[in-house]
Amino acid sequence: MFTKLKESIIIVSVVFSTALFSQSSVSLYFTGLSMDYSERADGKLLDTEESTFSDIYGYELSYAYTKRIRPNIYFGLDISYAYLSGDSDYTGSLLGSDDGYGSLKSITSNTIKDLYGRVYGIYVPNPYLNMKVALGYGKYEWERALSIKQVETYSWYPLGIELESIFRFSPHSPFQFGVNIGYSKGLSAKMDSSYPDAVLTLGGVTSIDLSFSMAYFITDNLSVDFIYEHNKQTIDKSDVVDTPIGSVYEPDSEDIQERIKFGMSYLF
């Protein structure tokens, strides 16, 4: 939300063997998102958005291709698209007022679109373990409708790196587990507001991600997947823009998101 100047991994399940030269997979996940968003100026809390997994939800669709280039080294790429929508509880104050935090409570309508692609390399030291390093790039967009009149759209292009380990306790076990940690910077980060009519250049966006996954293989080609993701986005204060209602800027903010994903992957 504006502050008057006067004062917020996919894990691809793949079975590797020495006979595998190339393989594709498609995955579909149903996703719930828990949001804990806050804005601050000079250390003072201005407003918050909160939601539970059942408040904001949607789906994620992904495709991956992996090719063996050496007996225990693989190269691949994947692309995913997530669409989430729902309501969050807003606590803050009326735009332009001198009232403090908590003077206004309302419902915010949210839409999140997340497109992300990666290229990666995988090292398979033994039948129990896969080790992956990935570079990714995409587009993230969060539309935050505080009212019919006031709609704010945050967007940037995340450029990131990830490290991931996928392991089994036995080569023949139907269960597969994964741990992923990632870091990204948001390029060309901005916030577009309908009221006042302004486009603000955000000072910077950094994101730290940690996820855990579990897959159960019903067959060699079909798995049921569960993924938990924890993401922390830090958004730095924007530039100052003059508008008809005065000079405005976007304050420092932090968005802690948790996502729970449940779905299936098909390998072919």
**CB contact at 8 A, 220 and 194:** no
C-alpha–C-alpha distance, residues 233 and 263, integer Å: 25
Report the alpha-carbon angle 177-217-127, nearest 5. Answer: 55
- The pLDDT tens digits of the residues spanning 184-237 come to 999 999 999 999 999 999 999 999 999 999 999 999 999 999 999 999 999 999
Question: How far is it, in rounded angstroms, from Cα 253 to Cα 196?
Answer: 19
Strand partners, 119: 77, 135
Any idea which residue has 């800027």 for tokens? 249
Question: Does the reported pTM lie above 0.95?
Answer: no
Reported as a single tens digit per residue, the pLDDT across 68-106 is 999 899 999 999 999 999 999 999 988 777 788 989 999
CATH architecture entry for 3-267: Beta Barrel (2.40)
H helix or E strand, kind and range, residue 189: strand 175-193
Among residues 229, 225, 228, the alpha carbon closest in space to that of 265 is found at: 225
CB-CB neighbours of 145 under 10 Å: 17
Q: Cα(166)–Cα(192) distance, rounded to whole angstroms?
A: 39
Q: Could you give the CA distance from residue 9 to residue 19 in angstroms, rounded to a whole number?
A: 27
Query: What pLDDT score does 240 carry?
Result: 94
Residue range 100-127, pLDDT digits in tens: 898 999 999 999 999 999 999 999 999 8
Which helix (H) or strand (E) is 188 found in, with range? strand 175-193
pLDDT tens digits, one per residue of 168-183 = 988 889 999 999 999 9
